[in-house]
């Protein structure tokens, strides 16, 4: 039997952030009702609980939900972390270390065109160097760090050519890889091929379905062959988390209903 664990990311509720930011009792309860065993949270969705990890742990325990990961978005545009970045990172590491087995997910919060040539290479070097420093410090606290690339316009790693460079850079660090299947396909790549190439580095996995370029879908309503991906992960003894991160327009319309639908899809297709 597969040892994979299934959880929900807070992104569906982030699409209604004004309503749900900080409402972790509701988010956790809905996660459990949908059949997910774990939750991955973005800092902006935690609200005041980011300052109260013990209260957050109590909420999780009430619903029988495990905290799987915290997402840390940072610009990391300089050779060293800025003081602001460092302070947020230290707080994030302290928060995650409260939860055994939870991971720190690092994500590049870019707001400018990525550039090309030497300029792009320099930005990538700054990003990976800062993330590596974060991973080293997190490791000292017993926390595993994973990088979650995306396929957005400003992403430094979004195509097959980009991923070749990314894996070469990550291989020199202690940063794990968190493939997002939807973003891989959105970047024009074959998801199974990327998973096979990077399998030894994978520490965490994100699912999101996709209809077409930058058009996300509720699980099972897109074109990605998730049953094949689940079989591959199970066959290679992946025992970590699979997090469903729904970004579909339906999530903006009704966050809770989409999480319930995603949970039903996973229940019907898990190995």
CA quadruple 34, 40, 41, 42: dihedral positive or negative?
negative
Residues of the chain with pLDDT under 70: 1
In whole angstroms, what is the distance from residue 94 CA to residue 90 CA?
Answer: 6
pLDDT value at position 43? 98
Could you give the angle at the alpha carbon of 179 between the alpha carbons of 61 and 97, nearest 5°?
A: 35
**How high is the mean pLDDT of the chain?**
97
Domain boundaries of the chain, sorted by first residue: 5-269
pLDDT value at position 33? 98
CA quadruple 133, 135, 138, 139: dihedral positive or negative?
negative
CATH architecture of residue range(s) 5-269: Alpha-Beta Barrel (3.20)
pLDDT value at position 1? 55
pTM, two decimals, is: 0.96
- Render the burial of 201-236: b for 16+ CB within 10 Å, e for the rest: bbbbbbbbbbeeeeebbbbbebebebeebbeebbee
pLDDT value at position 221? 98
pLDDT value at position 110? 84
CB 221 within 8 A of CB 259: no
pLDDT value at position 111? 84
């Amino acid at each position: 039997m597969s040892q994979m664990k299934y959880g929900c990311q807070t992104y569906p509720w982030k699409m209604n952030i004004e309503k749900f930011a900080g409402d972790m009792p509701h988010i956790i309860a809905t996660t459990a009702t949908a059949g997910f065993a774990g939750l991955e949270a973005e800092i902006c969705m935690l609200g005041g609980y980011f300052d109260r990890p013990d209260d957050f742990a109590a909420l999780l325990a009430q619903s029988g939900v495990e905290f799987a990961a915290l997402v840390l978005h940072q610009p990391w545009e300089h050779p060293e972390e800025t003081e602001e970045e460092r302070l947020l990172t230290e707080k994030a590491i302290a928060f995650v270390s409260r939860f055994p087995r939870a991971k720190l997910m690092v994500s590049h919060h870019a707001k400018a065109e990525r550039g090309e040539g030497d300029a792009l290479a320099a930005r990538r070097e700054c990003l990976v160097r800062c993330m590596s420093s974060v991973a080293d410090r997190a490791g000292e606290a017993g926390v595993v760090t994973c990088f979650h690339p995306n396929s957005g316009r400003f992403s430094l790693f979004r195509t097959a050519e980009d991923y070749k460079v990314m894996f070469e850079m990550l291989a020199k660090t202690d940063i794990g890889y968190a493939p997002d299947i939807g973003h891989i396909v959105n970047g024009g790549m074959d998801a199974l091929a990327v998973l096979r190439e990077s399998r030894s580095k994978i520490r965490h996995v994100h699912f999101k379905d996709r209809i077409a370029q930058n058009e996300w879908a509720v699980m099972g309503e897109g074109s990605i062959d998730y049953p094949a991906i689940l079989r591959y992960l199970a066959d290679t003894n992946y025992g970590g988390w699979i997090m469903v991160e729904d970004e579909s327009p339906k999530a903006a319309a009704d966050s809770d209903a989409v999480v319930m639908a995603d949970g039903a899809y996973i229940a019907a297709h898990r190995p």
